[in-house]
Amino acid sequence: MPGSSLFISSFSFPFISTLSLQPFACINQTPVLNRQTAATGVDLFVVGQNDHSAFLHAWPGSAFQERGKNMKIIFLGTNGWYDTGMGNTICTLVRSEAFDLVLDAGNGFYKLDRFINDTNTRPLYLFLTHFHLDHIIGLHTLNKFSFPQGLVICGPEGSKELLAQFVNRPFTAAISALPYPVEILELPDCLSKLPFPVEALTLNHPVPTLGYRISLDGRVISYCSDTGYCENAVILSRSADLLISECAYRAGQSSDAWPHLNPEGAARIAAEAGVKRLVLTHFDARLYTVSAFRDESEAVARKIFPQTSAARDDLEIDL
């Protein structure tokens, strides 16, 4: 609808998955303007606001996202904290027709070249939620890959400085020494540089942590790890096709001092947000010592939200 204006509050409209590509404006920390002022001359606005952040994001409204044919979600690592015989620490690959997205870089990250190799030139984006080691430890394998398409790493504020320290000598090869270009985008400030719509909101975790809502190929994926139950997880997940949620605790377990989700909490977010499907991942290595415990959490979550699956390493699902 070129030339027209449409204002959408991201809290209340579930059809956000149909939004178009190519953001062209991003005004961070800007209070929500009134409808007439905000939308003047712009086809579409998406507004998110909460206690921690406010942002305004717009995309040209002329081309609605078409639903692409193939999208695969591949769980490369599904543990929280450390590796065990149950799996590697967390890493998830989202393969669409046009892009490869990697969600966090735990030890499962080393498996990426099973799927992405020299012949694949789809643009590659890595979204880091926070800098606990189980989400970044796999970055020391960056120098085993040859990504001719380059790599864009997206993460919370401070990512450039932290990555310059961690992906560097003496820990591993420096980013500047990698055989491909790497760009680092700090979110939400750089949301406008992404070629598809993404929302990033703060989650409930002891260190700065972002949850993501990614619109790609006509689908919406919400990724929330690590976090305790919070309103922002529900906001990010509203009517999503898929919520990938952490499930560090087992049923009935919780801690205000160290917020994480149990299966009931993850299912509650899925139900309140009205998602189509929930996949649990990031199972605490110390608490989930056998596969049956994941089954048990899947069953507990299904009582609240029936379309729930518990991930395992190497699980692939079609979306």
- Tell me which residues touch Zn ion (CB under 5 A): 80, 132, 134, 226
CA 170 to chain centre: 29
- Which of residues 80 and 155 has its CB atom nearest to Zn ion in the complex? 80
- Which of residues 80 and 197 has its CB atom nearest to Zn ion in the complex? 80
Angstrom CA distances, 64 to 15, 22, 80, 215, stand at 11, 11, 37, 11
- Which of residues 20 and 79 has its CB atom nearest to Zn ion in the complex? 79
Distance (Å, whole) CA 25 – CA 202: 21
Minimum CB distance to Zn ion, residue 260 (Å): 8
Minimum CB distance to Zn ion, residue 282 (Å): 6
Minimum CB distance to Zn ion, residue 284 (Å): 8
Minimum CB distance to Zn ion, residue 212 (Å): 15
Minimum CB distance to Zn ion, residue 236 (Å): 17
Burial degree of 166 (CB within 10 A; 0-12, 13-18, 19+): middle
- Which of residues 45 and 249 has its CB atom nearest to Zn ion in the complex? 249
Q: What is the DSSP string of 122-153?
A: S-EEEE-----HHHHGGGGGGGG---TT-EEE
Best CA proximity match to 76, nearest among 294, 281, 303, 266 = 281
| 11, 235 Cβ separation under 8 angstroms | yes
- Which of residues 96 and 159 has its CB atom nearest to Zn ion in the complex? 159
- Which of residues 23 and 80 has its CB atom nearest to Zn ion in the complex? 80
Distance (Å, whole) CA 27 – CA 191: 10
Minimum CB distance to Zn ion, residue 213 (Å): 19
Angstrom CA distances, 1 to 41, 86, 314, stand at 12, 50, 42
